[in-house]
């Protein structure tokens, strides 16, 4: 159900095409929610059938025609309901493919796991640098409190992404150290 509300949430900022939504998902929500383009078109069709959004067909000559979707009153109420209600358990449903692999990695050579963790660490550091450009940390309270509210919420999520990447990189580094010592021992 989250995808549906992610789309509604974006449409609540302004009218968009499926293409736009797909782009926003990648660019702004991407580090905490992935959505396939085919999934978005499918969900838009469903949203329209359920009467939460409407669209206007925009004829273009230089570019392909497009459907400009906008949220309606019913959709807005639905979105608010979803924002208001929460079930804490939902927030703890996780799937971490790296941890699953690592959990069973005693079966393969240590060096291979070190290689995997090193690449993971690099990517985390790169992602952290990237995110840090767009957000600071949350310690500059004064500034944050005076921010307009949309960007405040945006910064909170970005700060979480940043903290995640940093913690991941640190953790990966520790694992690499341990595995290296283990490797030496085995020599």
1 binds DNA (CB under 7 A): yes
Applying CB under 7 A, does 45 fall inside the site for DNA? yes
Q: Is the dihedral of CA 41, 47, 49, 54 positive or negative?
A: negative
Contacted entry of its own copies, DNA, none for residue 45, CB cut-off 5 to 8 Å set by kind = DNA
- Residue 51: phi and psi, rounded to 5, are 75, 25
What is the DSSP code (8-state) at residue 62?
S
Nearer to DNA, 58 or 156 (CB): 58
Q: Which is nearer to its own copies, 55 or 154 (CB)?
A: 154
> Least distance from C-beta 167 to DNA, angstroms?
23
User: Distance of alpha carbon 104 from its chain centroid, rounded?
Assistant: 27
Give CA–CA dist 128/168, Å, rounded: 10
Distance, in Å, from the CA atom of 152 to the CA atom of 158, rounded to the nearest integer, reads 10
CB of 14 to its own copies, least distance (A): 13
Q: Which residues bind its own copies (CB under 8 A)?
A: 2, 5-6, 9, 12, 29, 31-34, 79-80, 82-84, 86, 88, 90-108, 112, 116, 119-120, 123, 127, 138-139, 141, 144-145, 149-150, 152-154, 156-157, 159-161, 163-164, 167-168, 170-171, 174-175, 177-178, 181-182, 185
CA–CA separation, 109 and 132 (whole Å)? 35
Q: What is the dihedral of CA 84, 88, 89, 91, to 10 degrees?
A: 80
Chain contacts with DNA (rule: CB under 7 A) = 1-4, 17-20, 23, 34-39, 41-42, 44-45, 60, 62-67, 93, 95
């Amino acid at each position: 159900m989250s995808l549906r509300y992610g789309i509604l949430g974006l449409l609540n900022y302004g009218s968009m095409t499926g293409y736009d939504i797909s782009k926003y998902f990648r660019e702004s929500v991407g580090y905490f929610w992935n959505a396939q383009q085919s999934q978005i078109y499918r969900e838009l069709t469903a949203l329209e059938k359920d009467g939460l959004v409407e669209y206007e067909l925009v004829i273009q000559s230089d570019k392909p025609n497009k459907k400009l979707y906008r949220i309606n009153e019913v959709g807005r109420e639905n979105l608010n309901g979803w924002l208001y209600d929460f079930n804490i358990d939902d927030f703890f449903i996780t799937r971490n493919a790296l941890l699953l692999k690592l959990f069973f990695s005693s079966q393969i050579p240590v060096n291979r796991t070190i290689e995997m963790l090193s690449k993971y660490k690099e990517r985390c550091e790169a992602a952290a640098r990237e995110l840090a450009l767009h957000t600071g940390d949350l310690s500059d309270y004064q500034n944050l409190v005076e921010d307009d509210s949309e960007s405040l919420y945006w910064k909170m999520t970005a700060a979480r992404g940043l903290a995640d990447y940093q913690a991941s990189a640190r953790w990966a580094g520790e694992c690499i150290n341990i595995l290296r010592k283990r490797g030496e021992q085995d020599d």
